[in-house]
Amino acid sequence: MTWYLVEYPRPGKAELKRVLRAASFYADYDLDASIVEVLRHLKYDVETSQEIGFGQQRDEFHYRRAFKTKRVLLTKDKGYLDSERFPLSQTRGVIVFNIDTSNTKEIARALEVIDLVLAGIAPALDEAKVILNSDYTLTFIKRKPSNGGFGEDRTRYKFDENGRDIWIWEDED
């Protein structure tokens, strides 16, 4: 396992405005309604499959709908992690909630990570999938060039509850 500290040049105002654009979301049929309600209360733009009359469509429909409407797909369905069926090149971002939605503390922790971290970096979610866990950890899956094509890069993050520290690690191949 390799641990590292990332250092980067401080972006200018125009770059910050572009990078910190808030995400818009698309919730598929299996996402708990309480998550949508809280995100809307926090003033996020959330479209749900039920509200537009497509609640029971196939997963491919929801994946394409989110991409075409430039929204980050919110789901509990781990099937979206299949990059052959759901290519990274055809997403504005997918967040898979790997939580127990009957546990309000787990929902609250997941929403805290979305509100404080993920929603503010919408462009970074393009061509990415995120597995969001209830213990302030997430796995970020991005496309990377590999042998003349593209592969996946997986980076895991742990946000300390103190709100100041972020641990980053990549599993060695």
Instruction: Tell me, yes or no, whether 149 lies in a domain.
Output: no
Number of independent structural domains in the chain: 1
Instruction: Tell me, yes or no, whether 119 lies in a domain.
Output: yes
Please give the pLDDT value at position 2.
Answer: 57
Residue in the block written with tokens 């781990």: 78
Report in angstroms the alpha-carbon separations of 147 from 87, 140, 144, 151, 152. 17, 21, 10, 9, 12
Residue 152 has pLDDT above 60, yes or no: yes
Instruction: Tell me, yes or no, whether 93 lies in a domain.
Output: yes
Where in the sequence is the domain holding 111, given as residue range(s)? 21-137
Comparing 76-85, 121-130, 155-164, the range with the smallest average pLDDT is 155-164
Instruction: Tell me, yes or no, whether 157 lies in a domain.
Output: no
Confidence of residue 164 (pLDDT cuts 50, 70, 90): low
Instruction: Tell me, yes or no, whether 117 lies in a domain.
Output: yes
Instruction: Give me the CATH number covering residue 97.
Output: 3.40.50
pTM exceeds 0.75 for this model: yes
| 82-140 tens-digit pLDDT | 999 999 999 999 999 999 989 999 998 888 888 877 777 777 888 999 999 988 888 99
Report in angstroms the alpha-carbon separations of 63 from 18, 75, 105. 24, 10, 28
Instruction: Tell me, yes or no, whether 152 lies in a domain.
Output: no
Pick from 158, 150, 151, 140: which is nearest to 173 by CA?
151
Helix/strand/coil for 80:
helix
Answer whether 96's CB lies under 8 Å from 114's CB: no
